[in-house]
Each structure stands twice: as C-alpha cells, then as structure tokens.
Amino acid sequence: MNLRKLAAALTVPSLGLALAACGGGEEGGTSPSGAKLVKADTLTICTHLPYKPFEFNEGGEVVGFDIDVLKIAADAEKLETEVVNIGWETIVSGEALNSGKCDVAAGAMTINEEREKVMDFTEPYFEATQALLVKKGAGYASLDDLAGKTIAVQEATTGADYVKENAPKDAKIITLEDSALMMQAVKSGKADAGVNDNGLLYDFVKSNTDMEITSEFQTGEAYGFTVKKGGNDKLLEVLNKAINDKAAYDKVYTKWFGEAAAQ
C-alpha cells in the first residue's frame, strides 16, 4: 500500500450514517476489553479511499474487506464504526494515530520496518504479491518485456519500489497519486503497463474485461492494521483476536474474494 498526498480529513460512518467532521473534540472512552477509543462507543478507522476491494465508497457508505475485518473486532466489543478518509502519508507517519484522529489505521498496509518504527502492527491478516496490469493481448508477460515502454506505479508503494529496482533501465516510470489514476493510465494507453497489489488489480480486471494480469511478483508482503505506537496494547489484542476468529474471518474473505483464505 502507498504513501498518498494529503487529503482533507473526513469522517465517513461505515454503517451508512450521515457525513460528519473528523475529531472535533469528541469525548473518548474505552471498550469493554479496555481498549482506548478516541470517540466513546466507536471504533474510528483511518484510511485513504479508494483501494477497492479493501476500502472504497459505495452508495455513500465505506465498504470493503478491511472494513469488514475490523467490524469483527467492533462487533465483539459492541462498538459502532466510523471511517476517516485522510491522506495516506498522515497515516504511515503515525501522525493520524498520534493526534487522535482515529483508533486504528487500515488500507492494505504492508508491514515493514519503517512503519513499525512509528506504529504498532497487528498480526498479518492478508498475504499479497505485486502484479502486472496490461491491456489484453498487449504481449507484455513480464517486466523484461517493457524495455523502452512506460510503466505506471502508485507513489511510494511497494509496487513502485519493485518496479524501480527491477524494470529495464530504459523503461519510463510514471508515478501517480492513487490506484485509480494508475489503473486508468494503463486502460487509457497513457502507460503500457502498471504494477500494484494483486488483490486490487484482480478486482479491477473483473469489471474491465479489456485488461489482464500477466504476471505476479513474489515480494513476501503481508498486510497489517496499526494502532498508536506504545499506546493501545488492549486494542491490538482485540484486533488480533478478530483476525484469528477463523469462522468470522473466512466469511468476510469469501464475501470479497470468492473462496476461503488459504491456511
């Protein structure tokens, strides 16, 4: 997942309630298990939209795989959920959590050492690879086929890092603000190919039948949710318990990906 430009912080209730401002002096609280909350009786989630199928807006409601996994935790603690749509760099820097904008950060966020320095991660909840998106029939089966071609990436993503390290030296790399712009660049012909997380791209090709994924790159990535560094161990316990609730997790995974998660 990526480092995206700062956007205005908006609170979008994921249960379809009215749009509300983020923060604003709401009185905090604790969950039944003792997890600290920035808003009483509510699990407040920071992310940056869209990153379908993990989090995106559908009919005025924020939905997605990440949101549903976090609802397992919220339901166990009898909490409502609200989603704060905010710049991704505000999240990965730890600022969103440190400033009390939310309790937990989500967004198909790859666990890495740099982020672990500023946030506490849950156990991994999703394994991912990078994938190559091209127009169907273009004939690009690997990065090596893209010598002299244009490759679109999303800024500060693990996919962008992979392309910079492994693409042919004469390939042109264009960096775009978010995943939607990256995928549209390939679809429109602005770029010959694009690289991003496989879950995101497979969802895109479902509804864009002129596109295809021709290769995946094993990068050993795993996604995690984050809480304030050293500041909310009880919430980490609640989130890890939800991730390890196999029946509930498999139901959510099947809803979004069509089959139960591999063991």
All structural domains of the chain, each given as residue ranges with its CATH number in brackets, are 32-125+224-257 (3.40.190.10), 129-220 (3.40.190.10)
Residues of the chain with pLDDT under 70: 1-26, 259-263
> Residue 149: its pLDDT value, please?
98
pLDDT computed for residue 172 by the predictor: 98
Task: Supply the pLDDT for residue 6.
Answer: 29
Cα–chain-centroid distance for residue 150?
A: 25
Model pLDDT, residue 261: 58
| DSSP-derived secondary structure letter, 229 | T
Measuring CA to CA, which residue among 175, 173, 152, 90 is closest to residue 107? 90
Give me the pLDDT at residue 258, please: 79
Angle at 255 between CA 252 and CA 260, to 5 degrees: 70
Pairing assessment for the beta strands 56-58 and 36-37 based on DSSP bridges: unpaired
pTM above 0.95, yes or no: no
CA dist 89 and 224 (Å) reads: 16
Q: Which pLDDT does position 10 carry in this prediction? A: 40
Distance, in Å, from the CA atom of 241 to the CA atom of 262, rounded to the nearest integer, reads 18
For residue 129, which phi and psi values (nearest 5 degrees)? -125, 170
Residue 223, pLDDT score? 96
CB 133, CB 194: distance < 8 Å: yes
246: Cβ–Cβ under 8 A, 6 or more apart, which residues?
A: none
Give the separation between CA 108 and CA 129, rounded to whole angstroms.
12
